[in-house]
Structure 1
Amino acid sequence: MEKSAKIYIAGHRGMVGSAIHRKLTKEGFTNIVTRTSSELDLREQEAVREFFAAERPDYVFLAAAKVGGIMANNIYRAEFLYENLQIQNNVIDAAHQNGVTKLMFLGSSCIYPKLAPQPLNEDSLLTGTLEPTNEPYAIAKIAGIKMCEAYRSQYGSDFISVMPTNLYGPNDNYDLNKSHVLPAMIRKFHEAKEENKPFVELWGTGSPLREFLHADDLADACYFLMQNYSGAEFLNVGVGHDITIKDLAELIQRIVGYQGRINWNVEKPDGTPRKLMDVSKLHALGWKHSIELEEGIRVTYQDFLQKIESYAV
């Protein structure tokens, strides 16, 4: 990407989009185009077409999505499927219609079958049944991958897809009804500490294994791949090792400084037993993560403390 290139970041205020924005700014890119959701509703086809026709970006990072944890995914199933399909379809097609040089679509590790062999290899896509709790979101993301593949096949579009593992970092969502597991734990332990609660209740058994990648590492990988990868196959982005939810909880508890106990509500779902990404293809291209989990959580907790008033109960 040339430093003068016009780059559109869809979803620039989210955790991933803001990390990509920070990375590009750090690297000296100044012609970055952004729109808030109130300025441009990506679910509306005509609005997206008009935006692309007017701005004509050279590169697009498609990081906009409706996201959430197990609870939100399971409750708002229709919204997760419809809104994500609308966003993807509109942006990908408008990028094609307006001659975008390159587009990157950001998906999710939930695209893989619930019981796919671990670590999750790119070849496992569509080989089994999805995790029921986030199936609508996963189907939307799979459709995004296939859209990029189809536009590449039919039109020769340089549209690539990356599948990040579980993410965390600055600008995460700490709303307990919508957040993912790591930010939800940060908030729960912090509030329990402030209110001197004797215990924190967490869902499930604590046995599932999860992999966590800092958003700034993902942004670094996206920047690397946008310049160095134009393959038809989507790529996993992760750290290559995982941790149990129980160990994660105890790590966050220690970082926050909460002295109470943890009660595991085994009546609640665990979700997928394990989600570890096979990142051997990404490593072979020359990229590896640099932020380890404890360091990343400490920085993320400080970000939470700066935003704490907006998350007050």
Structure 2
Amino acid sequence: MHGGVHPGRMALATASDVTAAPHGEVHRLLDRSARVFVAGSRGLVGSAVCRHLARKGFTDVGGPGSAQLDLRERRAVFEWFAAERPHVVVLAAARVGGIRANATRPTEFLSDNLRIQINVLDAALRHGVERLLFLGSSCIYPKFADQPIREEALLTGALEPTNDAYAIAKIAGILQVQAVRRQHGLPWICAMPTNLYGPGDNFHPEHSHVLPSLIRRFHEARLAGAPRVVNWGTGTPRREFLHVDDLARACLHLLERYDADGPVNVGTGTDLTIRETAEIVARVVGYRGAVEWDASQPDGTPRKLLDPSRLAALGWTSRIGLREGVARTYAWYVENLATGTVRH
């Protein structure tokens, strides 16, 4: 973030600029000069939100990286809020990872995410943040929820065991936002994005999510002339993928058009198998060898398709198709490998 504190500036529009409609829909423009703290501004989601807000005319957007402010440290977070006084907060910071990282390090995924969320949400409440968006994850829903998954499925069944610790932390964040709304009347909201990918993703071979992991694996296999690539699982689970730039658009859309207790799904409304996903990635990367599957490794949730109708009713739909999005992401990956800025 940059610039000084702006006494008296309001992040939300005046009453004359706000109109309400059923199901939590509002039309509340944000002041483009208001201070916006994007927690996790260096990450996949946070950096995309910062880019989009800047394109839309916001002039005071960002936040310190984890090296400058460890959001797990409560005193440091409160001191930062007291000094900077943000008017709007997008809570995109989290410890994240793929199926192996979640399954083997559940303690960190639970503890770190709970501390990040509690510290930021408590500090935001203490210092009167007017508008806040908490970003959760589609993994909050039960493993065998009816498909496509509606927001009402939350807390109706058992979670996927390989990422239940992360899911519980995110559910706690949703409930804390709802508690603030009930007790303090603040217009804070929650959004639940589906599987995300895009520029700035984590391409680590063990800690990344499925799509960046496939991009790295096929890229390295092509360079090495490897005759085959072996992927985890059976390839049969179905997944929905959303480009992070689409999520960034949805964040601003929700901040200006939604005000209700319930979370809002953010997704494309379409899915495909992991095997089909791998075929798309292989074509984009240019890998022509064999693709095999190691069924001894876990598949995770069999299907996870979100119902985005609540967001669609607010006038938002995704724009970036999967093949286009993978091509954009792969181009970014190749370009940034040379600069050493890829997380791997």
Which secondary structure state, in structure 2, belongs to the residue aligned with residue 307 of structure 1? helix
Amino acid at match of 1:18: S
> Are residue 290 (structure 1) and residue 302 (structure 2) matched?
no
Name 2:58's counterpart in structure 1. Answer: 29
Tell me the equivalent position of 1:100.
129
Matched to 2:255, the amino acid is: M
Q: How does 1:96-245 map to 2 (within 5 A)?
A: 96-245=125-274
- Could you tell me which amino acid in structure 1 is paired with residue 57 of structure 2? G
Determine which of 50, 55, 66 is the counterpart of 2:79: 50
**Counterpart position of 1:38:** 67
Task: Return the alpha-carbon distance in structure 2 between the equivalents of residues 211 and 312 of structure 1.
Answer: 23
Q: 1:22 to 1:33 in 2, by over 3 A?
A: closer
Give the Cα–Cα distance (whole angstroms) in 1 for the partners of residues 115 and 335 of structure 2: 33
Partner residue in 1 for 2:33? 4
CA apart distance, 1:33: 3.7
In the TM superposition, residue 45 of structure 1 has moved relative to its aligned partner by 0.5
Local SS of the residue matching 2:313:
helix
Q: Does 1:261 align with 2:290?
A: yes
Corresponding residue of 2:115 = 86
In the TM superposition, residue 312 of structure 1 has moved relative to its aligned partner by 10
User: 1:301 — aligned with what?
Assistant: 330
Partner AA of 1:250 in structure 2: E
In structure 2, how many angstroms separate the alpha carbons of the residues matched to 1:77 and 1:33? 29
Cα distance in structure 2, aligned partners of 1:154 and 1:120: 29
Could you tell me how far apart the structure 1 residues matched to 2:142 and 2:152 are?
11
Distance (Å, rounded) in 1 between the aligned partners of 2:71 and 2:170: 16
How many percent identity over aligned positions?
Answer: 54
Runs of 4+ in 1 over 6 A off after TM superposition: none
Task: Report the residue type matching 1:20 in the other structure.
Answer: V
Question: Over residues 279-310 of structure 1, what are the superposed CA-to-partner deviations in whole Å (9 max), with x where a residue is unaligned?
Answer: 11110111001101100000000011022244
Which consecutive unaligned segments of at least 5 residues does structure 1 have? Answer: none
What SS class does the counterpart of residue 96 from structure 1 fall into?
A: helix
C-alpha separation in 2, matches of 1:11 and 1:28:
20
Deviates more, 1:226-235 or 1:132-141: 226-235
Q: CA deviation at 1:30?
A: 1.0
1:32-89 deviations in whole A, cap 9, x for unaligned? 2410101100000000000001111000000000000000001111000000000000
Question: What is the alpha-carbon distance in structure 2 between the residues aligned to residue 8 and residue 222 of structure 1?
Answer: 13
Moved more, 128-137 or 150-159: 150-159
Q: 8 Å contact 2:201–2:343 — kept in the other structure? A: no
**Alpha-carbon distance in structure 2 between the residues aligned to 1:13 and 1:33:** 9
Aligned pair partner of 2:299 in 243, 261, 270 = 270
SS of structure 2 residue aligned to 1:80: helix
CA distance in 2, matches of 1:33, 1:241: 32
Distance across 2 between alignment mates of 1:227 and 1:53? 25
| CA distance in structure 2 between the partners assigned to 1:62 and 1:7 by the alignment | 11
* 8 A contact 2:149–2:306 mirrored in 1: yes
Of 29-38 and 102-111, the range deviating more from structure 2: 29-38
Query: 2: CA distance between counterparts of 1:32 and 1:242?
Result: 33
Matched residue type, 2:146:
P
Q: Kindly tell me: are residues 312 and 66 of structure 1, through their superposed partners in 2, closer, same or farther at Cα, counting changes over 3 Å? A: closer
TM-score, normalised relative to structure 1:
0.98
